[in-house]
A and B are shown apart, each in its own frame.
Chain A
Amino acid sequence: MPERTISLTVNGTAHHATVETRKTLADFLREDCVLTGTHLGCEHGVCGACTVIINGDAVRSCLMFAVQAEGAEITTVEGLAPAGELSPIQEAFRAEHGLQCGFCTPGFVVSVHAYLAEHPQPTHDEILEMLSGNLCRCTGYQGIVRAVERAAHSMTPNP
């Protein structure tokens, strides 16, 4: 099997590894970095469960090969808050019951982190469109929408 050696940074930690060229970034994060918070639902770019932040942008880690992430800085759901703590977005998901079974939650939380960093005060309609890239098969979308609204509000500096 063709292999390559790669170096990249995940949640601030440098990783060096030799990987099969066909290994997706999602599988690399889960198997080689043992960061199993990144979930794999559909493995072909539809469900969004595997969303991670690469050099500031939210992307589907099942649609990138690990070898393509050479030199990249990656943030996974584990890197959004210090161990044992919740980010304001995670806190909002908890407060608003933005999760039921929780399988899709890492993808939602990571997507929302990246989105709010660029659009800190989205409208309700913008939130609905932004969330369209992630699937929740418990269909608990109302709680997720409220969580994003709460998070955006809580992260807005008081005047």
Chain B
Amino acid sequence: MKPAPFEYHAPDTVADVVALLAEHGDEIKPLAGGQSLVPMLALRLTRFEHLVDLNRVAELDGLRRDNGSLTVGATTRQATIERSELAQAVPLLARAAPLIGHFQIRNRGTVGGSLAHADPAAELPAVALALDAHMEIATNAGRHTVPAADFFVGTWTTSLEPDELLTAVQFPVWDGRCGFVVDEVARRAGDFALTGVTAGLQLDANGAIQRAAIALFGMASTPVRAPAAETALIGSHPDPAAIREAADLAVRDLEPPDDVHASSTYRRSVGRHLVERSLTRALDEAHHA
């Protein structure tokens, strides 16, 4: 249960990190909070000749509110999100954070680490997908952004190339009458979710839904949006039957994974109920906003 030997780098600028990534290619891995990478190293599920520790790069840490968005540095701790006033501007982010692992894990685990690790049952990738967040990425050649919809590729797999560093995430801030819910079912507090939902609804001046964002996690190799359900809701004043219909649509085309913890059928059933419950609560919150 000991990681294989590696060279350790602890630079303090993004420029130095991406220079190391360019030099060592797939022999090097960024180390953020280490709450997923270090177990994988210890279990020898993976090994790298070099690790570059991001924890001394001040630029990567912290939250910034800009026009219309909240930018969260990649090494911002999940526990920092829980305690942050600024994070309240993105309720899905603030409400997802306490559901991640245990408090000892959140004290080290980072927002960028969770996104780049891309576990299919993780909360933050679903939040990023639901909100159409943008990933800020740095390489030796410059900086660019990638929409969340293009970022999550498969289980533990993102669009990041070995020379690319996720530096921050831009979460859009929703204004007006909105409601947000993050809900999940796990075997115990802190366990990976069997399935979960993030949902946001925004109402227009007449109380009709003008924006709907639904993403499920634990239901496929990546988090998944529910575009048919969103389309059905937009422009409507849904009653309970319409919300049930939207929940049916949200899981209709999914083939959730089957494992010792839950069958595919069970996951689909729980996912459908979670969508129904989340939309009901989000709508209620928006009506009272």
Contact = CB atoms under 8 A, between A and B. Distances in A.
Contacts of B31: 68
Contact of B104 (A1, A21, A51, A68): A51
Interface string B42-54: 1100000001010
A51 B105 CA distance: 10
Interface string B204-240: 0000000000000000000000000000000000000
A133 B190 contact: yes
Interface residues of B, number: 30
Contacts of A62: 38, 42
Nearest to A4: B8
Interface stretch (A9-17, A53-61, A84-92, A95-103): A53-61
Given A22-B3, A63-B34, A58 B104 contact: yes
Contacts of A128: 189
A22 B35 CA distance: 15
A43 interface: yes
A41 B190 CA distance: 18
A120 B219 CA distance: 38
Is chain B's interface secondary structure helix, strand, loop, or mixed overall?
loop
Contacts of A67: 8, 10, 53
Given A21-B6, A58-B103, A128-B189, A63 B79 contact: no
B108 interface: yes
B289 interface: no
A64 B38 contact: yes
Contacts of A24: 2, 38, 42
Contact of B5 (A1, A63, A64): A1
Given A44-B39, A133-B102, A20 B34 contact: no
Contacts of A70: 10
Contacts of A58: 103-104, 107
Interface in A126-154: 128-130, 132-133
A22 B44 CA distance: 12
Contact of A20 (B5, B39, B53, B189): B5
7 contacts: A1-B5, A21-B7, A44-B39, A58-B103, A62-B38, A128-B189, A133-B105
Interface of B: 1-8, 10, 31, 34-35, 38-39, 42-43, 51, 53, 55, 79, 101-105, 107-108, 188-190
Interface of A: 1-2, 4, 20-22, 24, 27, 43-45, 48, 51, 57-60, 62-65, 67-68, 70, 111, 115, 128-130, 132-133
